[in-house]
Amino acid sequence: MDVIRKIGHNEIVEITTPVLITWHDGKSKLCGDIRALNNYTKADGYRIPRIPHALDKLAKAKYITKMDCMKGFHQNAVKPNSMKLLRIICHMGIYE
C-alpha cells in the first residue's frame, strides 16, 4: 500500500490550501490545512474522565506510555475512502 499517491491530471479534486511549517532548526514540512473537516466530523462518543479519577487510576498503573504527537503526523491509518480529504497541493502536483 502506497503512503503517498500523486493525483492524475484528469482526476477531479477539491483543492486544499498548503501550509508550510518551519521547525526551530530551519527544516520545513508541507502540510494541508484540513481544519474545515472539523465541521463534518462526529464528536467522540465517550466522556473525558474526571481528573481525580484519572489520577487515581494512574497511581495504580503498572505501565505508563507516552507518545510523541509532534512528529507522529500522518502516522495513523486512514480509510481509503477518506484519503481524498487529506490531499495536499504543491508546486509538484497534488498528493494524497
Buried b / exposed e across 48-59, counting CB within 10 Å, b at 16+? eeeeeeeeeeee
Q: Calculate the CA 79 to chain-centre distance.
A: 13
pTM given for the model: 0.47
24 — pLDDT class (breaks 50, 70, 90): confident
DSSP notation for 49-83? PPHHHHHHHHHT-S-------SS-TT-S---GGGG
- The string of pLDDT tens digits covering residues 33-72 is 778 777 878 877 888 889 999 999 999 999 888 776 666 5
